[in-house]
Structure 1
Amino acid sequence: MLVTLGDTHGDRAHRLEGRTLTAVREAEQVCHTGDFTTERVYEAIAEEAGRERGGAPLSAVAGNSDDPDLAARLPETITVEYAGRTIVLAHGHDRDDTSLSLLARQEDADVVIVGHTHRPGIERTPHCPVVNPGSHADPRGNRAAHGELRQAGDELAIEIRTPDGDLLAEQTV
């Protein structure tokens, strides 16, 4: 499973709990759409991602609220492979629907994952789905959430889940 998080907005701790924490610990790969805020939070999430198996990779992009030292360490966009699919991550604060669609086409992406709005959901563009995992820790009027992507036969199943395990959205690619 690939787990995607976003918009933690912490200063010391990972702020993971419930199914979100379990999913991060069990994931084959963890992706974060930025706005950890501090390097300490980035390191705490990376530690949880690697706790069970000795190291699930943490792929992350910089958000507009990340400390300058952390932002300098992280790219603006990143492309990862999972289950034979190309997944592009961006924070999203400087991208509208058109530029996200262009980014997806440019990278020949099967899925684009963005954050920034704290609004969990899955939207379909002409090229591919755009997934926003929301925020597991700072939902700002939305439900706290994270994303889970799994190989399901020949398809990729995408789910948005709450820390309590409630299913908020799903789609297959």
Structure 2
Amino acid sequence: MRILIVSDTHGYHKNLDRALESAGEVDMFIHLGDVEGGEEYINAVVGCEKHVVRGNNDFFSDLPKEEEFYIGEKKVFITHGHAYCVSLDPQQIKEEGKARNADIVMFGHTHRPYLEQDGSITVLNPGSLSYPRQEGRKGSYMIMETKDQGEAEFHQLFL
């Protein structure tokens, strides 16, 4: 299974289109918040299963604040992350993921890619497609690939 993971598009779709084209066929799409009115656009251009959460800039959105679901055998917890102080440190969101028995925690908000795999839990942030803040300032996203044995591989990609 191939999953495209994005965040912080802030209503700008050009780089989202580029990421969708570059990723090719995917089985699932995950957006970790700050779509800023892009829900209809995402629904129109993404034809697979979607999971989209509300970010701190999605003021009037009906999107859920958080979501828990399974990808194969892996329990996934997704949220934008601002309520867990991720701009300071990802430790609080990691602890929340552990408390929820999540195998994978995904968040956005910082506009910086992040990936930590410590054996019991994976914590990740794909960065921002529209307003990247890491060195080089290239829009970023992730591809998650699951194997038949349930193992997951994560690939950080840049536009």
Structure 2 length as normaliser, TM-score? Answer: 0.83
- 1:44 alignment partner, SS class: helix
Q: Specify every segment of 5 or more residues in structure 1 that has no aligned partner in the other structure, as ranges.
A: 51-55, 164-173
How far did 1:22 drift?
2.2
Q: Which amino acid aligns with 2:146?
A: Q
Q: Which amino acid aligns with 1:60?
A: V
Return the alpha-carbon distance in structure 1 between the equivalents of residues 23 and 44 of structure 2.
Answer: 10
Return the alpha-carbon distance in structure 1 between the equivalents of residues 114 and 103 of structure 2.
Answer: 16
Q: How many residues in Structure 1 have an aligned counterpart in Structure 2?
A: 151
Once the two structures are superposed, the pairs formed by residues 61-80 of structure 1 within 5 Å of their partners are: 61-68=53-60, 70=61, 73-80=62-69
Does residue 123 in structure 1 map to residue 123 in structure 2? no
| Match in the other structure for 1:82 | 71
Return the alpha-carbon distance in structure 2 between the equivalents of residues 102 and 126 of structure 1.
Answer: 14
| Match in the other structure for 1:168 | none
| Match in the other structure for 2:26 | 27
- 1:8 alignment partner, SS class: coil
Q: Structure 1, residues 55-114: CA drift from partner, whole Å, max 9, x if none?
A: x1211111001131x1xx112210121132111101011214343122212221111110
Q: Specify every segment of 5 or more residues in structure 2 that has no aligned partner in the other structure, as ranges.
A: none
Aligned identity (percent) is 26
How far did 1:35 drift?
0.2
User: Does structure 2 conserve the Cα–Cα contact (< 8 Å) formed by 1:37 and 1:65?
Assistant: yes
Once the two structures are superposed, the pairs formed by residues 3-42 of structure 1 within 5 Å of their partners are: 3-10=4-11, 13=13, 15-18=15-18, 20-22=19-21, 26-38=25-37, 41-42=38-39
Runs of 4+ in 1 over 6 A off after TM superposition: none
